[in-house]
Structure 1
Amino acid sequence: MFEQQLEPVADSLGVSALVAALPLFTVLVLLGAVRMKAHRAGLIGLAVAVVVGWLAFGMPIGQTLSAGAQGVVFGLFPIMWIVVNALWVYRMTVRTQHFDILRRSFGRFSDDPRIQALVVAFCFGALLEALAGFGAPVAISAVMLVALGFDPVKAAVVALVANTAPVAFGAMGTPVVTLAQVTGLPLDTVASVVGRQTPLLAVVVPLVLVGLVDGKRGLRETWAPALACGLAFGVAQFVAANFVSAQLADIGAALVGAAALLAVPSARKPADEAVRTSVLTGARSEDLDVEDDRREIVRAYAPYGLIVVIFSLAQIPPVKDLLARATQSFDWPFLDVADSEGNPVGANVFSLPLISTGGTLVLIAGFLTAAVIGLRAKDALKEWAATVHELRYAILTVVSVLALAYVMNLSGQAATIGHFVAAAGAGLAFLSPVLGWFGVAVTGSDTSANALFGALQVTAARESGLSPELLAAANSSGGVLGKMISPQNLTIACAAVGLAGKEGDLLRKVLPWSLGLLLVMCLIVVGQSTFVLGWMLP
């Protein structure tokens, strides 16, 4: 058995923490300063973590490599298994042109560009985040706004800022699933706390969006539908995350938010020509005027309905218990680790939720989607293979980062850093979201940031007397606000609207909003760590 040591280097916690942080520094420097591709930076960081774990922290090389292998397996299944199948559903709707039907359907909700921004960037963007994630919502929402006549720069800024509140539950809950796994905390508990933080952002973001689109006039004239949309979105996300399923949080929130938005009478009023003239400065796509058959519109919405139904059925206790029977648990080979107190760690035993995992449920929904939208099985399988090919670098990035996280966690590197950071005491509650924000700003992924810093947050929380669940959730909730300034997302947004090379201009426009909303999240977490908002926690 390998027992983790907190001060293996020079018998000093500070020096040991500095050495333990080398893999993280390596990844962050390669991404932020060298601007290396994420999958390459992840692999180099993994190599550094293996060397530090073996030579500095004394973990036998066999166990060190075994820890990394477990991270790779978890990255492939269930994490990328979820992402691949979710993006596959979206790609099938694009192939059959049902996505275009859906886009036109959204475009007809209102002729007011401020309301269109909420429907497309906030509500539909959240739906895309639920299914695809990894930059797809920003690219697709920005393109749709340009097609509606938005200026490309404004379309990109709106799409970036809108891609915040849904990120923690994106790709069918992938970030919170990862967070639960690397921290050892129950998924339901982690999702519940995140579901009591990000919904508060959801109330604010729609108001920010109408302000971005039309300034003070937009806020004055459309605050009511924007507030209704944000409140409904937040309530639905809270309910799903706490009482239904974390995987359904974004889908339910997006649909309920859109319904609430359109239920406000002022949202359906024709926009003043002066508003349209001043806001819509680009060319409107002619295909928005195409009339679609009602049956095809229903088929375009069907994939999302199928996912909601399948995930809802999977939460019924008898069905949930039946699906759980297929879960395989076994001792992970060549791994026998105890923490610094001599207690065996949970990672010694590995579980494979073969059917109950979100990826398998989305796969089932995908096969039903292919049948509903009229895609032949052969073509559906081709789209699945194309999806894997499209995500090949994302897959490599995720598995390398998770392997790095597992090596750091099991060798004791994360625990050492956590004990050192705990010296911040009560100030840790304020800094916790900042760490997540920084992680996402650099990696471009809430999933990666949770893998890198999740265990560290939990260790620091326990040492400082704060709630581990609160700080773990804060890592993810703060992280969502770093998405809009990540180089990856800025590049995607610029490429989508034809502004290649203008990433710096976009960064200057969205950075103040990112920092402002981050401050709000920091204050929320501080409040939840005290009696002021402590009542909000489960």
Structure 2
Amino acid sequence: MEFVQNYNPLDNIWLSAFVAFLPIALFFLCLVVFKLKGYVAGFLTMFLATLIALFVYHMPFDKVFSSLAYGFLYGLWPIAWIIIAAIFLYKLSVKSGYFDILRDSIIAITPDQRIQVVLIGFCFGAFLEGAIGFGGPVAITAALLVGLGLRPLYAAGLCMIANTAPVAFGAVGIPIIAMAKLVNVPAIDISAMTGLMLPPLSVFIPFFLVFLMNGFKGVRETWPVLLVAGLSFAIVQHYTATYLGPELPDIASAIVSIVATTIFLKFWQPKNIFKFDSQKEEIKTQKNHSTSEVILAWSPFVILIGMIVIWTMPSFKGLFASDGILNFSTLKFNFDSLASIYQTQPVVAENKAVKSLFELPLINTVGTSIFLTALISMLLLKVKPSEAISTFGETLNEMKFAILTIGLVLAFAYIANYSGISASLALALAHTGNAFAFFSPMVGWIGVFLTGSDTSANLLFGTLQQVTARQLDIPEILFLAANTVGGVVGKMISPQSIAVACAAVGLVGRESELFRFTVKYSVGFIILVGLMTAFIAFVIPEVIPVVTH
């Protein structure tokens, strides 16, 4: 039995959008007002979305059930697997004792914890986002910052905010590449427009991180190094996005920013060194370590970079293609009832079936590359196999509620997408006429909130942005880029991201605290991005790059 999505089931787009918004409103209330645990909020949100899909959107029960199952499984693999492997790697470093050496080596670059957050959360996090994406960057950097003495909530919240600048070009440019294929626009054109909109945010983020930690006083004391970190990142981001395409901006920008900031710190340090209270006494006992000890302490993360490079190489990915020798390692099964769910105009150009094939890549997934890094690190750091097994079991035990939360959140995302709930919200905003120039990024923001992924949000709403731009006679690459940029500031409140970050720092069950920390900043950012998009559209349209096709 076919199910063709109906985006206006109540024959009034605003009323339909209001009903579609109810699960999101419930999620906000669960976390902000009632302060429920993440998995409880996720279950209630999923349950309400299921009722709306069944009785408002008239989605057949078998398709509702399959959508929930598909989303829950996707939450387990690859999302939860990435986080489990990342936390396992971090815990092995701690158990071996070498994390203390790694921490001391970072302090040797700068003992100021405001700058450490910029180096790790912003610079190193951007590199990881560019290479792997999928929540791994926040998990790894937040765990590192907790090890350096930051309070868990602070570490998670700051890393989620720091992760905004690189998300658009995450996982080697996949969000933009996927959208470009969908809407048949050259990827470099969308990349160039995104590379024009993001740099101001990239310069601002290091300053904002320090402001959150230490107010204007902290910004005044550290502004030279913050300018070096942010400006070097933004310049390279703009250049690579404009002239080279979407694959390299994050990786290149992060490397240049790390090198420039580290060199600058050789010649300049803030007069007043900032440390959190918990670290003030501990830092006094800092030891000097040999070069070999420092190299060994950093080896897990150096190996991780190498593994990520291998995993993203086309030649390696080719091994898992349909004719590749390792194709057997990807398990595939089809949700037959999903194959007859069709998206329709204006969300897609012509009726199109949703994805029904579930792929479970045992090797060709980022989580496996991190897990193999952990096994190699176990040998290098001389962690006993029995202790490593115990540590892995400990990781799974600590993660059990986080895994459940991620699964429930992804189940909600898929029922919202496959029923048409998500599209109803976007279409209502598209009915605002020229005001849509302001609301265009909000569509991407909602998309990332619902799916946890800028790629998914771009695939979900790319065609809608294109069609609306043509109706308003505005260059389509502006709205396509706005969808991407709006999505990056929605990442910090995505239920999936919240669950991942809490799992990384041991705050499982306290997702409401992290959500309340980030939501006000996310709302502020999306308003600014909306104003920027409208300003470009109606005041300075000449800066929009000319489409090359």
Q: TM-score range, shorter-chain basis?
A: 0.7 to 0.9
1:362 lines up with 2:362 in the alignment? no
Structure 2 equivalent of residue 149 of structure 1:
none
Please say which of residues 250-259 and 51-60 is displaced more in the overlay. 250-259
Deviation at 1:372, TM superposition (A): 2.1
Deviation at 1:62, TM superposition (A): 0.9
1:403 lines up with 2:411 in the alignment? yes
Deviation at 1:457, TM superposition (A): 4.3
Provide, for residues 11-34 of structure 1, a one-character-per-residue CA deviation record: whole Å limited to 9, x for no partner.
333333333333333323322332
Q: 2:337 aligns with which of 325, 334, 340?
A: 334
Alignment partners' CA distance in 1, 2:253 and 2:499: 25
Alignment partners' CA distance in 1, 2:365 and 2:397: 22
1:319 lines up with 2:322 in the alignment? no
- The residue type paired with residue 545 of structure 2 is W
Alignment partners' CA distance in 1, 2:547 and 2:377: 38
Structure 1 equivalent of residue 530 of structure 2:
522
Contact 2:54 2:64 in 1 (8 A): yes
1:15 lines up with 2:15 in the alignment? yes
Classify the secondary structure of the residue corresponding to 1:391.
helix
Alignment partners' CA distance in 2, 1:198 and 1:218: 24
Contact 2:194 2:484 in 1 (8 A): yes
Structure 1 equivalent of residue 393 of structure 2:
385
Alignment partners' CA distance in 1, 2:50 and 2:519: 35
1:535 lines up with 2:545 in the alignment? yes
Structure 1 equivalent of residue 267 of structure 2:
268
**Unmatched tracts of structure 1, length 5 or more:** 147-151
Structure 2 equivalent of residue 53 of structure 1:
53
Contact 1:176 1:476 in 2 (8 A): no
Provide, for residues 218-269 of structure 1, a one-character-per-residue CA deviation record: whole Å limited to 9, x for no partner.
65665443222123344666799997997x98777555433211212x6534
Alignment partners' CA distance in 1, 2:212 and 2:417: 42
Deviation at 1:139, TM superposition (A): 7.1
Alignment partners' CA distance in 2, 1:512 and 1:16: 26
Deviation at 1:213, TM superposition (A): 6.8
Contact 1:196 1:536 in 2 (8 A): no
1:296 lines up with 2:284 in the alignment? no
Deviation at 1:280, TM superposition (A): 8.7
Provide, for residues 185-222 of structure 1, a one-character-per-residue CA deviation record: whole Å limited to 9, x for no partner.
69x96995877755542322223455667777765665
Map 1:473-484; keep pairs closer than 5 Å. 473-480=484-491
Provide, for residues 468-527 of structure 1, a one-character-per-residue CA deviation record: whole Å limited to 9, x for no partner.
7434423421224658xx99899999999xxx9xx79x96xx988666654543344446
Alignment partners' CA distance in 2, 1:245 and 1:379: 42
Provide, for residues 302-329 of structure 1, a one-character-per-residue CA deviation record: whole Å limited to 9, x for no partner.
1221122122223333222113342455
- The residue type paired with residue 403 of structure 1 is A
Alignment partners' CA distance in 2, 1:252 and 1:260: 12
Change (3 A) 1:69 1:516: closer
Change (3 A) 1:156 1:463: same
Deviation at 1:76, TM superposition (A): 1.3
Alignment partners' CA distance in 2, 1:378 and 1:493: 23
Alignment partners' CA distance in 2, 1:300 and 1:536: 48
Contact 1:71 1:399 in 2 (8 A): yes
Change (3 A) 1:63 1:290: same
Contact 2:398 2:506 in 1 (8 A): no
Classify the secondary structure of the residue corresponding to 1:57.
coil
Classify the secondary structure of the residue corresponding to 1:63.
helix
Change (3 A) 1:221 1:338: closer
Deviation at 1:71, TM superposition (A): 0.9
Contact 1:110 1:270 in 2 (8 A): yes
Change (3 A) 1:159 1:54: closer
- The residue type paired with residue 23 of structure 2 is P
Contact 1:156 1:493 in 2 (8 A): no
Classify the secondary structure of the residue corresponding to 1:351.
strand
Alignment partners' CA distance in 1, 2:176 and 2:23: 19
- The residue type paired with residue 24 of structure 2 is L
Contact 1:417 1:456 in 2 (8 A): no
Deviation at 1:387, TM superposition (A): 2.1
Change (3 A) 1:59 1:284: same
Structure 1 equivalent of residue 304 of structure 2:
307
Structure 1 equivalent of residue 472 of structure 2:
none
Classify the secondary structure of the residue corresponding to 2:359.
strand
- The residue type paired with residue 227 of structure 1 is L
Classify the secondary structure of the residue corresponding to 2:431.
helix
Contact 1:229 1:261 in 2 (8 A): yes
Map 1:168-183; keep pairs closer than 5 Å. none
Alignment partners' CA distance in 2, 1:211 and 1:14: 39
Alignment partners' CA distance in 2, 1:362 and 1:239: 30
Structure 1 equivalent of residue 351 of structure 2:
343
Deviation at 1:103, TM superposition (A): 1.0
Classify the secondary structure of the residue corresponding to 1:421.
helix
Deviation at 1:425, TM superposition (A): 3.5
Alignment partners' CA distance in 2, 1:318 and 1:295: 33
- The residue type paired with residue 487 of structure 2 is S
Structure 2 equivalent of residue 2 of structure 1:
2
Alignment partners' CA distance in 2, 1:237 and 1:387: 36
Classify the secondary structure of the residue corresponding to 1:292.
coil
Percentage of pairs with the same residue: 26
Map 1:127-142; keep pairs closer than 5 Å. 137=141, 141=145
Change (3 A) 1:487 1:375: closer
Classify the secondary structure of the residue corresponding to 1:375.
coil
Alignment partners' CA distance in 1, 2:312 and 2:60: 41
1:144 lines up with 2:144 in the alignment? no
Alignment partners' CA distance in 1, 2:245 and 2:365: 15
Structure 1 equivalent of residue 89 of structure 2:
89
Contact 2:438 2:531 in 1 (8 A): yes
Contact 1:127 1:251 in 2 (8 A): yes
Given the two structures, how large is their TM-score scaled by the length of structure 1? Answer: 0.75
Deviation at 1:351, TM superposition (A): 3.5
Change (3 A) 1:250 1:446: farther
CA RMSD of aligned residues (A): 4.9
Change (3 A) 1:289 1:5: closer
- The residue type paired with residue 380 of structure 1 is A
Map 1:126-525; keep pairs closer than 5 Å. 137=141, 141=145, 144=148, 160-161=157-158, 163-167=160-164, 198=198, 200-209=200-209, 222-234=222-234, 256-264=256-264, 268-269=267-268, 271-272=270-271, 275-276=272-273, 283-286=280-283, 288-324=285-321, 325=324, 326=327, 327-328=330-331, 330-335=333-338, 336-340=340-344, 343-434=351-442, 448=452, 457-458=461-462, 460-465=464-469, 466=476, 469-480=480-491, 517-525=525-533
Alignment partners' CA distance in 2, 1:312 and 1:522: 35
Deviation at 1:423, TM superposition (A): 0.9
Change (3 A) 1:418 1:385: same
Classify the secondary structure of the residue corresponding to 1:95.
helix
Please say which of residues 419-428 and 393-402 is displaced more in the overlay. 419-428
Contact 1:251 1:308 in 2 (8 A): no
Alignment partners' CA distance in 2, 1:203 and 1:115: 15
Alignment partners' CA distance in 1, 2:255 and 2:235: 12
Aligned length: 513
Provide, for residues 388-440 of structure 1, a one-character-per-residue CA deviation record: whole Å limited to 9, x for no partner.
22222222222112112212222222233322221123433433545666898
Change (3 A) 1:351 1:338: same
Deviation at 1:87, TM superposition (A): 2.1
- The residue type paired with residue 105 of structure 1 is S
Please say which of residues 226-235 and 275-284 is displaced more in the overlay. 275-284
